[in-house]
Chains A and B, each alone.
Chain A
């Protein structure tokens, strides 16, 4: 690697984040060896970052940190057909409902949800396979923030949609409500769920919740403790989708997905684990046809 290139790299990094300390920058400038931390390799990306429709000061950084780190990234476009529904104001900073609908995009690799101004911005990554490209969930917010969905298609194009949510703050650094109950460990990873099928509709609706504190690590003396990965398969073993959730997802994650089930499918298997290796493995029965009796 030539010296000029290193120098150029450092300037770009400085633009990228004023938050990096001078000492760190100096250290990078002095060492002429290749550096591999994320933000630096991202700075080398030649993909242009379009102007943010939500005018977030963090947008460039978010794009470099969370989107362009994917080596298949070729382009970023703002796309208002990606719908992110949320209340205008977060009534409960610990439980802000979000619905992302990216059905307008074909051949999706993954959907990444980011809340720019959260202390931990990345909320989740969803890879729908045999499922519609939409998802509902709830998040914690630290303050008023843009909430955006970045959808990566098979051609390496990121499609960005989003909305702005006002909030009074504090959601990420509050301890989980569970600690008010002495028996939270006994009920850890309790799973509830159900599938609704509507005749004539290709996709079913799967709603499930897992009892889990989803600690961010930002509350005093409580280390990060959260569910990391959930995998959904049909009864035939076919992958429906992968869901990687992060710390900002609300306590007792409650998620709605829209798997496309074969008529004969009798259940959906959800498997996963949290960051301490606690396992989740459960079958959600899929009724052949939802009837009024089940309501």
Chain B
């Protein structure tokens, strides 16, 4: 989105908000809390909801590790304002500056808080960088549309530190880079060998429906299979609570399998997209938040491809 449109949006929102809706004029504030999940390791757990003006995009998990060299941060949230709140929280908790930031993948909830940090220290996989370059502005303009003033001043910052190595060490913490794919083209998981916490990014979801706008389900299943083999104590998913029982791997895998199986069945029985979205949800998935919404979204992402595989080929042109 260009600057003009952005400032118009903000101007429009505030001039409307001030006289008519005084409640709206109250400063928007994220209420971020750090929870300790392991030695020197803190997580900020986002709401398991969709983006809304009520949550301001506080819907994603971020984590930070307090090392003797400085703080290592995993993902930066949905907006500049979120980045600010996060930076304050990190300083209040550790008293240290951030020396390394990872963007696990290119989705906006994971990297639109980048502005608050030194872009030379923001690390990402090559395809995450190219993905954010290609789609960042669209993501940002869409979030301005949905979240309004929460997004004020947010700009897309492209990570400048390319991850082309398998691990790096800060203080006592050795971080292993685990490049996966499936949720997007490049999904970074990070294993902290010091604590055994596996930061899974959006390869794992827990009690929050997995999202599929850039998914390749086959690769995603493969990645889940791989991640299962990696010894760890805790999995910290991209969305949902910290997981000590590997339930997030299981649930994400089962959900995606169920989703694809059902969509394939729907396509084989001749349902259109709107009909396919109305699938009954089994009881084992009742604990998963925003599942109806995500099914509807996933139908939009996946159904055309599934239809192409299931509708019989009849001919080409007039031959």
Binding site for B on A (CB under 8 A): 85-87, 91-92, 95, 97, 99, 136, 138, 168, 170, 187-194, 196, 205, 207-209, 252, 254, 256, 271, 278-284, 295
Contact = CB atoms under 8 A, between A and B. Distances in A.
Contact of B311 (A91, A136, A209): A209
B316 A189 contact: yes
Contacts of B304: 95, 138, 252, 254
Prevailing SS type, chain A contact patch: strand
A191 B204 CA distance: 38
Given A207-B270, A208-B314, 17 more contacts: A91-B296, A91-B297, A91-B300, A92-B300, A97-B272, A136-B272, A136-B273, A168-B141, A189-B316, A191-B315, A193-B311, A254-B307, A271-B318, A280-B317, A280-B318, A281-B315, A284-B314
B296 A191 contact: no
Nearest to A192: B311
B270 A196 contact: yes
Contacts of A278: 317
B268 interface: yes
B282 interface: no
B168 to A, nearest CB: 35
11 contacts: A87-B274, A91-B213, A91-B300, A99-B274, A136-B274, A189-B316, A192-B313, A196-B270, A252-B304, A271-B318, A278-B317
A145 B11 CA distance: 23
Counting chain B CB atoms within 10 Å of each CB, which of A92, A189, A280 scores highest?
Answer: A92
B314 A87 contact: no
B314 A193 contact: yes
Interface in B283-315: 296-297, 300-301, 304, 307-308, 311-315
Nearest to A97: B273
B262 to A, nearest CB: 13
Contacts of A295: 265, 268-269
Interface residues of B, number: 28
Counting chain A CB atoms within 10 Å of each CB, which of B268, B272, B301 scores highest?
Answer: B272
A194 B312 contact: yes
Nearest to B142: A168
Counting chain A CB atoms within 10 Å of each CB, which of B273, B308, B313, B318 scores highest?
Answer: B273
A190 B313 contact: yes
List the 3 closest A-B pairs by CB distance, nearest first.
Answer: A97-B273, A281-B318, A192-B311
Interface in B126-184: 138, 141-142, 145
B311 A208 contact: yes
Contacts of A254: 304, 307
A134 B101 CA distance: 53
B149 to A, nearest CB: 18
A170 B142 CA distance: 11
B272 A207 contact: yes
Nearest to A283: B314
